[in-house]
Amino acid sequence: MVVGSKKHKICRNIFITLGVIIVLIPPLFVFWWMFTSALKTPVDILSPVPKLIFTPTWDNFKEVLQQENFLRYMWNSLVIATFATAIALVLGLPAAYSIAKYRQQKLALGILVARMIPFVSYLLPWFIFFRKLNLIDTYLALITTHLIITLPMTIWLMIGYFEDVPDDLEEAAMVDGCSRVRSFLTITLPLVRNGVVASAILSFIFSWNQFLFSLILSGPRTKTVPVAVFNFISFEQINWGGLSAAATLIVLPALILTLIIQKQIVRGLTMGAVKG
């Protein structure tokens, strides 16, 4: 860009500062509202003039954690999301590698279709299926169904990373008598480790957030947090404090994960879309 006069520069700075503020308000406001509502008493939350200054209370969090067995549900979500992610990596990495290396475009699209099927259509068939196998309310059933989210996502994201690995590296290794499998495991995989981390975290987050499957296939032993958070639309009234506290607790892990590996996520997300 052309560097203008000093005046121009000041104008640009004002413009950018204003822009930054405007751009940041919408996302931050909603989260800020959620966090602060979680710290308010029922009367403060429903105050017609939003209270900026209030005495924070941990009662809502206490209520959530005590009454609803929330930690257990967090643990369930953690177990399910972790296994769904791990299995997706084991199955998905070789598949993505093959698609990238052998240009199996049709396969790539076929896999995407699996992700595109409306989730509603899975509910009843899966319930009947898992009941026959006596697997309702088991981690196995939930992990298996969550693969529908994690596996296509892993494959789709990793294709881009594998395409970026120059062919000559592997070819050089193969000339040295290295097998293809070995070169995949020892040369290519380490090169795409950022991508592996990105797809793992994204898979984890989307599995963590999944609502519909867990509602139908989980039971008392395997209930996940999104289902539990729904219990805060309690029978009798709007428990806005408890709702906000529960929402905060469920959103927080996803946000922290995002923060930790934000660069890889950005790359991972853009990969599939920009290439092609």
Partner 1 sequence: MSKKLLVMALALTMVLGLTSMAMAFDGWDQFKGTRIRFLMNNHPFTDYIKTQLPKFEEMTGIDVVLETFPEDQFRTKRLIELTGGSGSVDGFMIMPGNSGLQYNQAGWLTPLEELANNPKITSPDFSFDDFFAGTLKAGQFDGHQMTVPILSETSLLAYRKDLFEKYGVKVPTTMEELEAAAKKLTKDLDGDGKIDLYGITMRGKRAAATSQWVDFLHSFGGEWLDANGKAAVNSKEAVAATKFYGDLIRKYAPPGGTNVHFQESIAYFTQGKAAMIYDANVFKKNYEDPKGSKVAGKVGYVLIPKGPAGQVPHVSGWHLSIASNSRNKEAAWLFIQWATNYENSLGALLAGVPTARKAAWEDPKFKNNDTTPDWTAESLRGFEIGSPVWNPPVIAIGEVRDAVGLAIVAAINGEDVQAACDKAAKEMDAIIKATQK
Partner 2 sequence: MPDWALIPWKVVSSFMRAGAVANKAEVKTGIWHKLFTHFDQHLNWYFPLPAILALAAIVAFPMVYNIWLSLHDWFLVSPIGPQWVGLQNYVQMFQDPKFWTTFWRMLYFIVGALAVQVPLGLLLALFLNQEFRARNLIRTIYLFPFAATPVAIALVWGMMFNPELGVLNYFLELFGLPRSLWIASEKWVIPSLILVDSWEWTPLIMIITLAGLQSLPKQPYEAAVIDGASSWQIFRYITLPLIRPTLVVATMLRSIDLIKTFDIIYVMTQGGPGEASETLYLYTYKTGFQFFHMGYGAALVVFVFALVLVFNLVLARVRR
Measured from the CB atom, the residue of 6 and 128 that comes closer to partner 2 is 128
Measured from the CB atom, the residue of 169 and 233 that comes closer to partner 1 is 233
Measured from the CB atom, the residue of 5 and 237 that comes closer to partner 1 is 237
Let me know: does 264 contact 202? Beta carbons within 8 Å: no
Measured from the CB atom, the residue of 108 and 227 that comes closer to partner 1 is 227
Measured from the CB atom, the residue of 57 and 178 that comes closer to partner 2 is 178
Let me know: does 226 contact 211? Beta carbons within 8 Å: yes
We find the least distance from the C-beta atom of residue 41 to partner 2, in angstroms, to be: 15
We find the least distance from the C-beta atom of residue 63 to partner 2, in angstroms, to be: 16
- Cα four-point dihedral sign 207, 210, 212, 216: positive
Residue 127 binding target from partner 2, partner 1, none, CB below 5 to 8 Å by type: partner 1
Per-residue tokens: 16: 């950018």
From 227, 248, 237, 254, select the one nearest 34 (Cα to Cα).
248
Residue 158, phi then psi, degrees to nearest 5:
-75, -25
We find the least distance from the C-beta atom of residue 266 to partner 2, in angstroms, to be: 6
DSSP 79-107: HHHHHHHHHHHHHHHHHHHHHHHTT-HHH
Residues that bind partner 1 (CB under 8 A): 42-43, 46, 123-124, 127-128, 131, 134, 136-137, 215-216, 219-220, 227, 230-231, 233-239
From 214, 79, 217, 92, select the one nearest 150 (Cα to Cα).
92
**Which of the 8 DSSP states describes residue 224?**
-
We find the least distance from the C-beta atom of residue 1 to partner 1, in angstroms, to be: 49
We find the least distance from the C-beta atom of residue 223 to partner 1, in angstroms, to be: 8
